[in-house]
Chains A and B, each alone.
Chain A
Amino acid sequence: MPHSVLKHSEYLVNICNEHWVKYVVPVLIATLLYATSFLLFVLAGTSAHHYMWLSHTTFIVGMLLFLFTHHWFFMVLLGESLDKIIITNRRLMRVHYRLIFHEDILEVSFEKMKTVEARKQGCIQNILHYGTLMFEINKACVSLVPHPNRIARVIQEAMQAE
Protein backbone atom coordinates (compact mmCIF):
# COMPACT_ATOMS: atom_id res chain seq x y z
CA MET A 1 0.00 0.00 0.00
CA PRO A 2 1.33 3.46 -0.80
CA HIS A 3 1.62 5.94 2.07
CA SER A 4 1.06 4.14 5.33
CA VAL A 5 -0.25 7.35 6.89
CA LEU A 6 -2.97 9.21 5.01
CA LYS A 7 -2.27 12.90 4.68
CA HIS A 8 -4.71 15.20 6.38
CA SER A 9 -7.67 16.35 4.27
CA GLU A 10 -6.96 14.03 1.37
CA TYR A 11 -10.11 13.05 -0.45
CA LEU A 12 -11.11 11.20 -3.57
CA VAL A 13 -11.61 13.25 -6.76
CA ASN A 14 -12.07 10.58 -9.41
CA ILE A 15 -11.70 6.84 -10.05
CA CYS A 16 -11.60 5.40 -13.55
CA ASN A 17 -10.87 2.08 -15.19
CA GLU A 18 -8.24 1.68 -17.84
CA HIS A 19 -9.53 1.67 -21.41
CA TRP A 20 -11.27 -1.49 -22.65
CA VAL A 21 -8.80 -1.83 -25.53
CA LYS A 22 -6.54 -3.78 -23.14
CA TYR A 23 -9.01 -6.70 -23.39
CA VAL A 24 -8.72 -7.05 -27.17
CA VAL A 25 -5.49 -9.11 -27.32
CA PRO A 26 -6.48 -11.60 -24.55
CA VAL A 27 -9.91 -12.10 -26.18
CA LEU A 28 -8.32 -12.80 -29.57
CA ILE A 29 -5.81 -15.28 -28.09
CA ALA A 30 -8.54 -17.00 -26.04
CA THR A 31 -10.82 -17.29 -29.11
CA LEU A 32 -8.01 -18.92 -31.08
CA LEU A 33 -7.19 -21.39 -28.29
CA TYR A 34 -10.87 -22.20 -27.60
CA ALA A 35 -11.40 -22.87 -31.31
CA THR A 36 -8.33 -25.15 -31.42
CA SER A 37 -9.52 -27.19 -28.43
CA PHE A 38 -13.03 -27.42 -29.95
CA LEU A 39 -11.50 -28.82 -33.15
CA LEU A 40 -9.56 -31.38 -31.10
CA PHE A 41 -12.81 -32.46 -29.40
CA VAL A 42 -14.47 -32.89 -32.80
CA LEU A 43 -11.46 -34.85 -34.08
CA ALA A 44 -11.60 -37.09 -30.99
CA GLY A 45 -15.30 -37.70 -31.58
CA THR A 46 -14.96 -38.58 -35.24
CA SER A 47 -12.17 -41.09 -34.55
CA ALA A 48 -13.86 -42.64 -31.51
CA HIS A 49 -15.29 -45.64 -33.41
CA HIS A 50 -12.11 -46.70 -35.23
CA TYR A 51 -9.03 -45.52 -33.32
CA MET A 52 -9.82 -45.56 -29.61
CA TRP A 53 -6.40 -44.56 -28.27
CA LEU A 54 -5.95 -41.85 -30.86
CA SER A 55 -9.39 -40.58 -29.89
CA HIS A 56 -8.57 -40.62 -26.17
CA THR A 57 -5.21 -38.91 -26.67
CA THR A 58 -6.77 -36.20 -28.85
CA PHE A 59 -9.58 -35.71 -26.34
CA ILE A 60 -7.17 -35.35 -23.41
CA VAL A 61 -4.95 -32.88 -25.30
CA GLY A 62 -8.05 -30.89 -26.27
CA MET A 63 -9.28 -30.91 -22.68
CA LEU A 64 -5.92 -29.77 -21.26
CA LEU A 65 -5.74 -26.95 -23.82
CA PHE A 66 -9.34 -26.00 -23.07
CA LEU A 67 -8.80 -25.90 -19.28
CA PHE A 68 -5.55 -23.95 -19.63
CA THR A 69 -7.27 -21.39 -21.88
CA HIS A 70 -10.31 -21.13 -19.62
CA HIS A 71 -8.38 -20.48 -16.40
CA TRP A 72 -5.78 -18.23 -18.06
CA PHE A 73 -8.49 -16.12 -19.73
CA PHE A 74 -10.50 -15.60 -16.55
CA MET A 75 -7.36 -14.90 -14.49
CA VAL A 76 -6.43 -12.18 -17.01
CA LEU A 77 -9.96 -10.72 -16.99
CA LEU A 78 -10.18 -10.71 -13.19
CA GLY A 79 -6.70 -9.19 -12.87
CA GLU A 80 -7.49 -6.49 -15.42
CA SER A 81 -10.78 -5.68 -13.71
CA LEU A 82 -8.82 -4.73 -10.57
CA ASP A 83 -6.72 -2.14 -12.44
CA LYS A 84 -7.80 1.37 -11.53
CA ILE A 85 -6.64 4.93 -11.84
CA ILE A 86 -7.39 6.74 -8.58
CA ILE A 87 -7.14 10.53 -8.38
CA THR A 88 -7.24 12.35 -5.06
CA ASN A 89 -6.71 16.05 -4.42
CA ARG A 90 -3.04 15.31 -3.59
CA ARG A 91 -1.91 12.46 -5.86
CA LEU A 92 -2.68 10.03 -8.66
CA MET A 93 -2.37 6.29 -8.16
CA ARG A 94 -2.43 3.65 -10.86
CA VAL A 95 -3.00 0.24 -9.34
CA HIS A 96 -2.09 -2.91 -11.27
CA TYR A 97 -2.71 -6.38 -9.92
CA ARG A 98 -2.35 -9.70 -11.73
CA LEU A 99 -3.49 -12.66 -9.67
CA ILE A 100 -0.41 -14.20 -8.01
CA PHE A 101 2.14 -12.95 -10.55
CA HIS A 102 2.41 -9.19 -10.41
CA GLU A 103 1.66 -6.17 -8.24
CA ASP A 104 2.46 -2.63 -9.30
CA ILE A 105 1.30 0.64 -7.76
CA LEU A 106 2.45 3.85 -9.43
CA GLU A 107 2.00 6.98 -7.37
CA VAL A 108 2.36 10.55 -8.62
CA SER A 109 2.33 13.25 -5.95
CA PHE A 110 1.01 16.64 -7.03
CA GLU A 111 3.46 18.32 -4.62
CA LYS A 112 6.37 17.20 -6.85
CA MET A 113 4.69 17.04 -10.25
CA LYS A 114 3.21 20.33 -11.37
CA THR A 115 2.39 19.73 -15.04
CA VAL A 116 0.37 17.07 -16.79
CA GLU A 117 0.01 16.45 -20.51
CA ALA A 118 -2.54 14.26 -22.29
CA ARG A 119 -1.29 12.53 -25.41
CA LYS A 120 -3.20 10.51 -28.04
CA GLN A 121 -1.00 8.95 -30.69
CA GLY A 122 -2.24 7.40 -33.91
CA CYS A 123 -5.70 7.02 -35.37
CA ILE A 124 -6.72 4.08 -33.13
CA GLN A 125 -6.18 6.08 -29.94
CA ASN A 126 -8.03 9.05 -31.42
CA ILE A 127 -10.96 6.97 -32.67
CA LEU A 128 -11.30 4.97 -29.44
CA HIS A 129 -10.61 7.99 -27.21
CA TYR A 130 -7.76 6.78 -25.04
CA GLY A 131 -4.17 7.87 -24.52
CA THR A 132 -1.33 8.55 -22.12
CA LEU A 133 -0.95 11.02 -19.28
CA MET A 134 2.58 12.41 -18.99
CA PHE A 135 3.73 14.23 -15.86
CA GLU A 136 6.55 16.82 -16.08
CA ILE A 137 7.09 15.96 -19.77
CA ASN A 138 8.33 12.39 -19.27
CA LYS A 139 9.02 11.75 -15.58
CA ALA A 140 5.93 9.59 -15.08
CA CYS A 141 3.55 8.08 -17.63
CA VAL A 142 0.13 6.52 -17.17
CA SER A 143 -1.06 4.70 -20.28
CA LEU A 144 -4.47 3.39 -21.40
CA VAL A 145 -6.32 6.34 -19.86
CA PRO A 146 -9.84 6.76 -21.27
CA HIS A 147 -10.61 10.36 -22.33
CA PRO A 148 -7.15 11.61 -21.24
CA ASN A 149 -7.93 15.29 -21.88
CA ARG A 150 -10.85 15.19 -19.48
CA ILE A 151 -8.77 13.38 -16.82
CA ALA A 152 -5.86 15.82 -17.34
CA ARG A 153 -8.25 18.73 -16.69
CA VAL A 154 -9.39 17.11 -13.42
CA ILE A 155 -5.73 16.61 -12.40
CA GLN A 156 -4.81 20.22 -13.30
CA GLU A 157 -7.63 21.49 -11.11
CA ALA A 158 -6.37 19.32 -8.25
CA MET A 159 -2.80 20.55 -8.81
CA GLN A 160 -3.88 24.19 -8.73
CA ALA A 161 -5.85 23.63 -5.54
CA GLU A 162 -2.82 21.89 -3.92
Chain B
Amino acid sequence: MIAALAFILIVQSLSLLLLLVNFRIFRSQARKYHALLSRFGDETGWGSPGRILMPVYIVLTMVLSVSVVVLFIWQPHFF
Protein backbone atom coordinates (compact mmCIF):
# COMPACT_ATOMS: atom_id res chain seq x y z
CA MET B 1 0.00 0.00 0.00
CA ILE B 2 2.72 2.48 1.06
CA ALA B 3 4.96 1.53 -1.89
CA ALA B 4 2.08 1.95 -4.34
CA LEU B 5 1.14 5.30 -2.79
CA ALA B 6 4.76 6.48 -3.02
CA PHE B 7 4.88 5.49 -6.69
CA ILE B 8 1.63 7.34 -7.37
CA LEU B 9 2.93 10.48 -5.65
CA ILE B 10 6.16 10.37 -7.70
CA VAL B 11 4.20 9.98 -10.97
CA GLN B 12 1.91 12.87 -10.00
CA SER B 13 4.95 15.05 -9.27
CA LEU B 14 6.36 14.21 -12.70
CA SER B 15 3.00 15.07 -14.22
CA LEU B 16 3.08 18.52 -12.58
CA LEU B 17 6.65 18.98 -13.80
CA LEU B 18 5.53 18.17 -17.36
CA LEU B 19 2.76 20.74 -16.97
CA LEU B 20 5.35 23.37 -16.05
CA VAL B 21 7.56 22.45 -19.04
CA ASN B 22 4.60 22.59 -21.44
CA PHE B 23 3.52 25.95 -20.01
CA ARG B 24 6.97 27.45 -20.56
CA ILE B 25 7.31 26.07 -24.10
CA PHE B 26 3.85 27.31 -25.05
CA ARG B 27 4.55 30.77 -23.64
CA SER B 28 7.82 31.07 -25.57
CA GLN B 29 6.09 30.01 -28.82
CA ALA B 30 3.23 32.46 -28.22
CA ARG B 31 5.85 35.21 -27.82
CA LYS B 32 7.33 34.30 -31.21
CA TYR B 33 3.92 34.74 -32.82
CA HIS B 34 3.40 38.08 -31.14
CA ALA B 35 6.80 39.19 -32.47
CA LEU B 36 5.87 38.00 -35.98
CA LEU B 37 2.60 39.91 -35.96
CA SER B 38 4.04 43.04 -34.42
CA ARG B 39 6.40 43.22 -37.42
CA PHE B 40 3.32 43.74 -39.57
CA GLY B 41 2.21 46.54 -37.27
CA ASP B 42 -0.58 44.49 -35.76
CA GLU B 43 -0.71 43.17 -32.24
CA THR B 44 -4.45 43.29 -31.76
CA GLY B 45 -5.45 40.70 -34.37
CA TRP B 46 -3.65 37.91 -32.59
CA GLY B 47 -6.34 37.13 -30.03
CA SER B 48 -3.95 35.53 -27.50
CA PRO B 49 -4.09 31.82 -28.33
CA GLY B 50 -4.40 29.56 -25.31
CA ARG B 51 -5.84 32.26 -23.05
CA ILE B 52 -8.67 29.90 -22.07
CA LEU B 53 -7.06 26.54 -22.81
CA MET B 54 -3.89 27.04 -20.75
CA PRO B 55 -5.67 27.96 -17.45
CA VAL B 56 -8.05 25.02 -18.03
CA TYR B 57 -5.05 22.71 -18.54
CA ILE B 58 -3.34 23.97 -15.37
CA VAL B 59 -6.42 23.78 -13.14
CA LEU B 60 -7.54 20.42 -14.51
CA THR B 61 -4.08 18.84 -14.05
CA MET B 62 -3.87 20.02 -10.44
CA VAL B 63 -7.41 18.97 -9.55
CA LEU B 64 -6.96 15.58 -11.20
CA SER B 65 -3.64 14.99 -9.42
CA VAL B 66 -5.25 15.52 -6.02
CA SER B 67 -8.34 13.51 -7.04
CA VAL B 68 -6.30 10.50 -8.16
CA VAL B 69 -4.36 10.38 -4.86
CA VAL B 70 -7.56 10.77 -2.80
CA LEU B 71 -9.27 8.09 -4.93
CA PHE B 72 -6.39 5.68 -4.38
CA ILE B 73 -6.43 6.15 -0.58
CA TRP B 74 -10.21 5.91 -0.25
CA GLN B 75 -11.08 3.50 -3.05
CA PRO B 76 -11.98 0.56 -0.73
CA HIS B 77 -14.66 2.81 0.82
CA PHE B 78 -16.09 3.96 -2.51
CA PHE B 79 -17.03 0.54 -3.82
Contacts and interface: CB of A to CB of B under 8 A. Distances in A.
B25 to A, nearest CB: 5
Given A67-B11, A99-B29, A59 B75 contact: yes
Given A12-B42, A70-B60, A81-B49, A45 B4 contact: no
Category for how many chain B residues contact A: 35 or more
Given A1-B36, A10-B40, A49 B4 contact: no
A129 interface: no
Given A44-B75, A55-B75, A78-B22, A63 B40 contact: no
**Majority secondary structure of chain A interface residues (helix, strand, loop or mixed):** helix
A50 to B, nearest CB: 10
A67 B60 CA distance: 11
A67 B61 CA distance: 9
Nearest to B45: A15
Contact of A12 (B35, B41, B53, B76): B41
Contacts of B7: 60
Interface of B: 1, 4, 7-8, 11, 15, 18-19, 22, 25-26, 29-30, 32-33, 35-37, 39-42, 45-46, 49-50, 53-54, 57, 60-61, 64, 68, 71-72, 75-76, 78-79
Interface of A: 1, 6, 10-12, 15, 41, 44-46, 48-49, 52, 55-56, 59-60, 63-64, 66-67, 70-71, 74-75, 77-78, 81-82, 84, 86, 88, 95, 97, 99-100
Given A15-B46, A99-B26, 4 more contacts: A1-B35, A44-B75, A49-B76, A55-B75
